[in-house]
Amino acid sequence: MLRNKVAELFGITYPIIQAPMAGGITTPELVSAVSNNGGLGMIGAGYMNPEKLRTCIHEIRQKTENKFGVNVFVPNDFHVTEETIEVSKRSLKSIYNTLSIDENMLLEIPTPKCILQKYEKQLEVIIEEHVPICSFTFGVPSKETITKLKENDIILVGTATTVKEAILIEKLGMDVVVAQGYEAGGHRGSFLNDSENGAIGTMSLVPQVADAVEIPVVAAGGIMDSRGLRAAMFLGAKAVQMGTAFLTCKESGANELHKKAILNATEDETTLTRCFSGKTARGLKNQFIQEIKEKETVLPDYPVQNYLTTPIRKVANEQQNKEYMSLWSGQSPRLAKGQTVGELINRMMEGVF
């Protein structure tokens, strides 16, 4: 295999990164399997409380000696009033009723200050536990945070959906940029651009980002196999980040109904929606998305909507009702296979270099 900048930087064998999917998908089994097979496993810590993150890191260390990383959500300012919450609750009322969710089950909406504190504690855990790689979504960390993490020899990865965002990531001194194309499943990482003008297809985004920055570019969005890996490398990427391909692996912690839904889906069945979290994300269309669609403009921002829909997703999981789960998926579900992480990575690397 030829020298690979990102693989060398991360201390991994292959230029393959498992996307840090939040919400119970990136279990220690998945993360360690990716790292044990020569890729980079990533914990999607966005929704995790700091102690849960610490436990997860410990469990992964018991399963692998290889490098892995953690992804955190950069807190954005948001305004929340009793009125916003009431409007949103009204829009969700019929769904609460359908799933027998009562007011007691709703979570208290934390203040922006609480969310910032949680993020800072996540970063402390990452430093204390000597996690070698930390990636960021929904924004960029402050200069102080960057300095502190770098003093602790942590490699910093930013997520960009446009050239402008990638340039800022480089300018701040971060080490690697993930260029997240429109095809990608789950949340859009847009932060300088809104989700509409940050919707650039991978084929367009990767070479334009690669031309604009000197730090290594990781391509994300629609990549599922060796074809996508090779294509991404020719476009100027030094590595790929894959979500849906790993989500559907045997080792992933995704609900089996979620995996099965992707394995049976076609490329035209995903959509972008704000209905689950208040931030735009790509998933398979279902009843929830359809019911909320016309109310999408009145939904509160992330993370308010996310807290208000948490009981919906929880009950849907308990009831094994995929119509109210968030079935995140990229635009290549036909290429997903119910294989092991080892099979996926080995097939991707066969004859590539």
From residue 258, give the alpha-carbon distance in Å to each of 65, 144, 185, 230, 242. Answer: 30, 39, 13, 28, 17
- Rounded Cα–Cα distance for residues 311 and 263 (Å): 26
Q: Which is nearer to a second copy, 64 or 208 (CB)?
A: 208
What the block records as the tokens of 167 is 């340039």
Phi, psi dihedral angles at 38 (to 5 degrees): 100, -5
What the block records as the tokens of 118 is 């949680």
Q: Which is nearer to a second copy, 34 or 240 (CB)?
A: 240
Which of 253, 259, 322 is CA-nearest to residue 286? Answer: 322
Q: Which is nearer to a second copy, 2 or 318 (CB)?
A: 2
Helix (H) or strand (E) holding 35: helix 28-36
**Which residues have CB under 8 Å from 190's CB, separation 6+?**
161, 162, 165, 198, 280
Q: Which is nearer to a second copy, 221 or 303 (CB)?
A: 221
Smallest separation, CB 338 to a second copy (Å): 17
Smallest separation, CB 25 to a second copy (Å): 20
Identify the residue whose tokens are 């018991």: 62
CB atoms within 10 A of CB 1: 10
Q: Which is nearer to a second copy, 74 or 336 (CB)?
A: 336
Q: Which is nearer to a second copy, 114 or 352 (CB)?
A: 352
Smallest separation, CB 47 to a second copy (Å): 27
- Rounded Cα–Cα distance for residues 251 and 254 (Å): 9
Smallest separation, CB 223 to a second copy (Å): 7
Bridge partner list, 159: 178
Smallest separation, CB 19 to a second copy (Å): 15
Bridge partner list, 72: 136
Q: Which is nearer to a second copy, 258 or 282 (CB)?
A: 282
Q: How many H helices and E strands in the chain?
A: 14, 11
Smallest separation, CB 193 to a second copy (Å): 5
Smallest separation, CB 215 to a second copy (Å): 18
Smallest separation, CB 267 to a second copy (Å): 5
Q: Are strands 155-160 and 133-137 parallel, antiparallel or unpaired?
A: parallel
Smallest separation, CB 206 to a second copy (Å): 8
**Which residues have CB under 8 Å from 82's CB, separation 6+?**
none
Query: What residues line the site for a second copy (CB under 8 A)?
Result: 162-164, 181-183, 193, 196-198, 200-205, 207-208, 211-212, 221-225, 227-228, 230-232, 234-236, 266-269, 271, 330-332, 334-335
Q: Which is nearer to a second copy, 100 or 266 (CB)?
A: 266
**Which residues have CB under 8 Å from 241's CB, separation 6+?**
17, 18, 19, 178, 180, 218, 219, 220, 223
What the block records as the tokens of 238 is 């030094």
**Which residues have CB under 8 Å from 28's CB, separation 6+?**
56, 59, 60, 62, 63
Q: Which is nearer to a second copy, 7 or 229 (CB)?
A: 229
